[in-house]
Amino acid sequence: MNPTNDPSMHSFIPVSGESHFPIQNLPYGVFLRRNGSQVAIGAAIGEMVLDLTLLEENQLLACPALQGRRIFGEKSLNRFMALGPEAWREVRARISKLLHADEATLRDNQPLRDRVLIPQSDVEMLLPVEIGDYTDFYSSREHATNVGTMLRGPENALMPNWLYLPVAYHGRASSVVVSGTDVRRPKGQIKPSDALKPIFGPSQSLDFELEMGVFIGPGNALGQAIAVDTAPEHLFGMVLVNDWSARDIQAWEYVPLGPFLAKNFATSISPWVVPIEALEPFRTAGPIQNPEPFPYLRTTGHRAYNINLEVYLQGERMSERRRICTSNCKYLYWNTSQQVAHHTCNGCNLRTGDLLASGTISGPTPDSYGSMLELSWRGSRPISFPNGETRRFLEDGDRLTITGWCQGPGYRVGFGKVTGRILPALAG
């Protein structure tokens, strides 16, 4: 076992068993102290943020793979991500040692602790990565089957290509925002079912999509593919993703080239990037793939992740949020290695900071469907709330929260949350 994943290990920082951020996690993020203007890179531990920028300035993060380079004096994680797995492992091991209950370097140096450990409540989390490109996959068989059934009937639910390749489209990186950012209801062309022509106006079928995303570390040269067996070496870490979707705009625009305005207005991600290394103990078997994939997509061993996922909705007039979905990342039919291998099999070059999202993650039962489109079955089965309200799709003022975690023996490796509130469409 990798020592940084040892279930028996404890930090000198108190961490509850329900916390998403024990010493076995140590996710990376970018933050701004509320009483200052200096952007810094940190790692989450319990309810605290460990300032890696200050630790580096104090020469406490030195390790052979860095070769004397300073990498945490940046405004994003990109420079660190580009270094590759050996540097990631050494830095993670160094941070783990500094936080270990038996290590005195930080534990017994109160002045230094006061400088480098900040309550999470005293920081503003920023977008952790400079995202150059964003690709959104469509990798949940349950989700694809549900949507196909609504549109084409159960006998033609999956398109002929779906079981042969990880379907995807290129999204818009400029509108990827960090958790807590309000989302404006988009406008676009919509064609009502009883109308001969489309109209222009605000979306009336605004939706969320429960997804996970993976960030690329080292990329590949243009014209060269990444083999499916080496794909994990290019994966830095994962985040929660809400790929907001305007279903009525998409229904009119998607033929023949797919989503455009229906998706490019906003995609929300969680601020903490959980290292792939922290997720290793939670690998599990994915769905059986039949027909057998082409050789360039065949994987061995467990490539799925057992990540529990929940979605909560709270409207402006609701006194508390209500859970509307429980799902799991292990339901994804196409895994991250297959996504990377397919993305690059034609020689497409991935670059450090690229974001690959999973597509909506739906499970086998109605309470595990990862979108309002499925939960309300295209609006025909409204979701009821304790205060008497119902929802077919998202309304102005609704706050949508996604959270997720891996459950270990007495601890969790979690992702925190990604949340966003719907604002009314702009007038005019």
Per-residue DSSP letters for 343-392?
HHTT-PPP-TT-EEE------SSGGG--SHHHHTTTTTSPEE-TTS-EES
Per-residue confidence at 36, pLDDT binned at 50, 70, 90?
Answer: confident
pLDDT for position 111: 97
Q: What is the CATH number of the domain that holds 315?
A: 3.90.850.10
Confidence of residue 336 (pLDDT cuts 50, 70, 90): very high
DSSP bridge pairs for 305: 283
Q: Is residue 309 part of a domain?
A: yes
Please determine, for residue 289, whether its predicted confidence score (pLDDT) is greater than 80.
yes
Residues 119 and 189 in one domain: no
Tell me whether residue 302 is one of the annotated catalytic residues. Answer: no
pLDDT in tens, 190-218: 999 899 999 999 999 999 999 999 999 99
Q: Are 200 and 63 part of one and the same domain?
A: no
* pLDDT tens digits along 376-418: 999 999 999 999 999 999 999 999 999 999 999 999 999 999 9
Considering the domain architecture, whether residues 122 and 151 belong to the same structural domain is answered as no
CB atoms under 10 Å from CB of 73, counted, come to: 13
Query: Phi, psi at residue 174, to the nearest 5°?
Result: -65, -20
Nearest to 74 by CA among 114, 42, 39, 116: 39
Tokens describing residue 265: 């207005």
Q: What are the tokens at 196?
A: 């001969």
Interval 88-99: pLDDT, tens? 999 999 999 999
Confidence of residue 428 (pLDDT cuts 50, 70, 90): confident
Using CA atoms, how far apart are residues 424 and 396, in angstroms rounded to an integer? Answer: 6
Residues 172 and 111 in one domain: no
Q: Within a domain: residue 18?
A: yes
Of 126, 150, 182, which marks where a domain is finished?
A: 126
**Rounded-to-integer distance, Cα 19 and Cα 130, Å:** 28
Catalytic residue among 100, 143, 342, 343: 143
Residues 361 and 250 in one domain: yes
DSSP secondary structure of 166-224:
--EEE--GGGEEETT--EEPPEEEE--TT-SS-EEEE-SSEE--EEEEEEE-S---TT-
Q: Does residue 89 sit within a domain?
A: yes
Percentage of the chain modeled with pLDDT above 70: 100
Both structure tokens of 346: 């034609």
pLDDT mean over 348-366:
98
Measured at the CA of 23, the angle between CA 20 and CA 28, to 5 degrees, comes to 70
pLDDT of residue 376: 98
* Last residue of one domain, picked from the residues 79, 96, 126: 126
Confirm whether 200 is domain-assigned: yes
pLDDT averaged over every residue in the chain: 97
pLDDT of residue 25: 98
Bridge partners of residue 187, in order along the sequence? 202
**CATH number reported for the structural domain that contains residue 84 in this entry:** 2.30.30.230
Tell me the CA distances in angstroms from 267 to 73, 171, 210, 223, 389, one per residue in order. 27, 9, 11, 29, 26
- Number of Cβ within a 10 Å radius of residue 94: 18
Q: Strand, helix or coil at 104?
A: helix
Whether 65 and 153 map to the same domain: the answer is no
Phi, psi angles (nearest 5°) of residue 88:
-60, -45
Do 379 and 207 touch, CB atoms closer than 8 A? Answer: no
SS3 (DSSP) at 231: helix
Same structural domain for residues 143 and 105? no
Domain count, the chain: 2
Residue 179, domain member (yes or no): yes
Q: How far apart are CA 200 and CA 223, in angstroms?
A: 42
The answer on pLDDT for 241 being more than 80 is yes
The predicted structure's pLDDT at residue 35: 84
* 158 burial type by CB count under 10 A (0-12 exposed, 13-18 middle, 19+ buried): middle
pLDDT average, residue stretch 134-159: 96
- Rounded-to-integer distance, Cα 106 and Cα 48, Å: 14
Q: Which of 14, 11, 214 shows the shortest CA–CA distance to 95?
A: 11
- Residues 341 and 402 grouped into a single domain: yes
Range 368-386 burial, b when 16+ CB lie within 10 A, else e? bbbbbbbbbbbeeeebebe
Average pLDDT over every residue of 13-22: 97
Do 324 and 354 share a domain, yes or no? yes
Cα angle 426, 427, 428; round to 5: 120
Kindly state the tokens that stand for 340. Answer: 């990377």
Q: Which of 99, 126, 153 is the last residue of a domain?
A: 126
Q: Do 138 and 101 belong together in one domain?
A: no
C-alpha dihedral over 119, 120, 122, 128, to 10 degrees?
140
Residues 350 and 260 placed together within one structural domain of the fold: yes
Q: How far apart are CA 377 and CA 37, in angstroms?
A: 47
Residue-range definition of the domain harbouring residue 75: 3-126
Cβ-defined contacts of 78-83 (< 8 Å, 24+)? 78/129, 78/130, 78/352, 78/353, 80/28, 80/41, 81/129, 81/215, 81/216, 81/217, 81/218, 81/236, 81/352, 81/353, 82/217, 82/218, 82/352, 83/217, 83/218
Alpha-carbon gap, residue 19 to 17, rounded angstroms:
6
